[in-house]
Structures are given as C-alpha cells and as structure tokens.
A = this chain, B = another copy of it.
Amino acid sequence: MSEKLLVVGSIALDDLQTSKEKRKDVLGGAATYISVAASRFCPVNLVGVIGDDFPEEHVDLLESRKVDLAGVEKAKGKTFRWSGVYADDFSSRETLDTQLGVFETFSPKIPEAYRKNRFVMLGNIHPGLQLKVLEELLGSAFVAADTMNLWIDTTPAELNELISKVDLLVLNDEESVQLTGEQSVIRAAAAIREMGPKMVVVKRGEHGAWLFSDVEPFFAPALPLEQIVDPTGAGDSFAGGMMGYIASQGIADIDAIKKGMIYGAAVASHAVEGFGADYLAGFRMSDIEKRVDRLQRLVSLN
C-alpha cells in the first residue's frame, strides 16, 4: 500500500545562467525538486520555509501536485535564493550568490500529523536540522538523507551522527571521496556503510548511480540525452523519484530500491530538459514509464 513521503529541506528561488539562457526567480530548492518528483508516485508531506516574497503561483503548483504544505512555514523576509552559472558543457557550475533569507533561522517543525510518516527523505540542509527532524518522528521504516561538501567540511561531528542514524545515504561521487578519503567509489561506499547506513547511493550525474548494500552492487544508468537545458535539481529529482516510488510500494526492500533508482533516473532525465521544479512538475507518468522502459532496454542483451 502506498504511504506518504515526508520531505524536509530547502525551498528556493534560483537565478540560473547557462551558455544559452538566463532565467530569474526559478522555482528551486532541494526539497522542492524532491517533492515534485516524488508526488507522482505517492502523497508528499513537505517541511520547509518560504518568505513573504514567495509567489502564490508556486504554492498553487505544489498543492496541485498532491504536495501537502501544512509543514511549510511562511516567515517574514525573503525566500532562500541561489544564483549560479553553468559551464558550456555543464561539467561544472559556479555559485554567484547565496542569500539565505528566512532559511538562515529555519528550524524544521514537524506537524503532529507528519510525525508518524514512515518514509522520510532529508534533503541537503545542516545535519543538525536533519537530526532534529529524526528526533521528532515517532518511528520510521526508511530514512534517506542527502548532504553536501559544505557539511563534510564544517560540521563533521553532527554529519557523522546523522549518517549513523539513517538507512540510506545519498551523495555524489566527489562527496563520497571527500567524506571517506577513499578514492574508489566502491571503497568509499564500504567506508560509509561502516558509519551506519545499511545502504549508500552514489550519484554520478550523466554516468548514472550506484547502490551499495549488503548484497551485490546495483547500477542504474542515466538516460543519454541529446541536449541538457538546466541540470539544477537533477540529483534531487533522482532522489525524489526514487523515494517516491519506494514509499508507493510501502516497503523499502532491495527490489523496490533498485526499481526506484530506475524511476529516479527517468524523472531526472526529464528534470534537466527544462528550467525549474515547475518544468519538472509537467512530466506525464506515461512519459516516465516510456523512459523507464528505455533505461531497461539500454542494458538488455536481448
């Protein structure tokens, strides 16, 4: 039976620049991408903060996508803003500006009704806040967390405590190396699993994603694309699609996680074809199913 997914993290307005286009006030933030991606598979309970400048149309969009916003606090001040510019080939990006706004003093408050959510995706925020969320839950079946290089550098103790308490850590290959000092992804994943999580998903962008667990590794390829419009939120869309699929199955066994990674890859391939989480919201399940089929045929010998 499908369960709800609790999503905690940043909601943002992004100013984005690629070699072809500049866009302002794009709907962004890790929790936004995760929620929009997951909401096609299961109901989503979102916890985050927005400022009084947050456009009503974005609220409407999220609500229309079965994202419950009872956990989204509207605070006095500006919504979190990120501004970045991508290299021509999208191999790197540079942050031009970060304005924390209302996110600076954000402390997640979990509505009573959300406390019994059993499937949880902690988007990339300060690990102390991720830990606080875990303390407020009444017990969970499957908690996944993402993180970033900033927290590996600046708050290692809290990050390590968080990692010890989650079922699945999701991070990219560079972060896995930075976190463990191991050069090979397979060794880095083994070192992370010794820190606590039963499972590790290492995201490698256009090179797909790896699942390491107590059984053999699993690899989910990325769909080869002719063109990328905006890679912002691709990793969060992948994680959201994956966790949404898992919650929709009501069980986080290895088969559901593998299948979830394929769904996540399909959703992420859609996410990079346009700007913002509102573009992502436009995906049709029939298109995602077609991409899931293509992803499976991509590695099929027959």
Which residues of A does B touch, CB under 8 Å? 88-89, 183-187, 204, 207-208, 210, 216-221, 224-228, 255, 258-259, 262, 294, 296-299, 301-302
Are B299 and A216 closer than 8 Å at their CB atoms? no
Contacting pair A221 B224 (CB below 8 A): no
Q: Which residues of B contact A224 (CB under 8 A)?
A: 184-186, 210, 217, 219
Nearest CB of chain B from residue A81's CB, rounded to whole Å: 29
The reply to whether B218 and A221 form a contact with Cβ atoms under 8 Å apart is: no
- In angstroms, Cα B208 to Cα A217, docked, is 15
Which one of B204, B227, B259, B294 contacts A184 once the chains associate, using CB atoms below 8 Å? B227
Residues of B within 8 A of A207 (CB): 204, 207-208
Closest to A177 in B: B89
| CB-defined contacts of A302 to chain B, threshold 8 Å | 255
| Complex CA distance for A207 and B202, rounded to whole angstroms | 13
Query: In the complex, A291 Cα to B202 Cα: how many Å?
Result: 22
A227 CA / B297 CA spacing, docked (Å): 30
> Nearest 7 A-B pairs (CB), nearest first?
A299-B299, A207-B207, A186-B224, A219-B298, A89-B183, A219-B221, A186-B226
Q: Enumerate chain B residues within 8 angstroms of A227, measured Cβ to Cβ.
A: 184, 187
Chain B residues near A219 (CB-CB < 8 A): 221, 224, 298-299
Residue numbers in B under 8 Å from A225 (CB-CB): 184, 186
Q: Are B184 and A298 in touch, CB under 8 angstroms?
A: no
Distance in Å from the Cβ of A136 to the closest Cβ of chain B? 35
Give the docked Cα–Cα distance between A172 and B301 (Å). 22
Residue contacts A-B, CB under 8 angstroms, 16 given: A184-B226, A187-B226, A204-B207, A208-B221, A217-B298, A219-B221, A219-B298, A219-B299, A220-B299, A221-B299, A255-B301, A255-B302, A258-B301, A259-B301, A296-B301, A299-B299
Chain B residue, CB-CB nearest to A190: B226
Instruction: Given A258-B301, A299-B299, decide whether A216 and B294 contact each other with a Cβ distance below 8 A.
Output: yes
* Complex Cα spacing A188 to B297, Å: 21
A220 to B208, CA, bound (A): 12
Q: Does the CB pair B297–A216 fall under 8 Å? A: yes
Q: Which of B89, B204, B217, B298 contacts A218 (CB 8 A)?
A: B298
Q: What is the minimal beta-carbon distance from A82 to any residue of chain B, in angstroms?
A: 25
Report the bound CA distance from A216 to B290 in whole Å.
13
CA distance A219 to B227 in the complex (A): 18
Q: Provide the residues of chain B in CB contact with A208, threshold 8 Å.
A: 207, 221
**Residues of chain B with a CB closer than 8 A to A204's CB:** 207
Residues of B within 8 A of A184 (CB): 224-228
Tell me the bound Cα distance from A204 to B301 in angstroms: 19
Task: Give CA–CA (A227, B183) in the complex, Å.
Answer: 9
Which listed residue (B183, B210, B259) contacts A88, Cβ 8 A? B183
Question: Across the two chains, which residue of chain B brings its CB closest to A255?
Answer: B301
Inside 8 A of A297's CB, which chain B residues have their CB?
216
Q: How far is A204 from B207 in the complex, measured between Cα atoms in Å?
A: 9
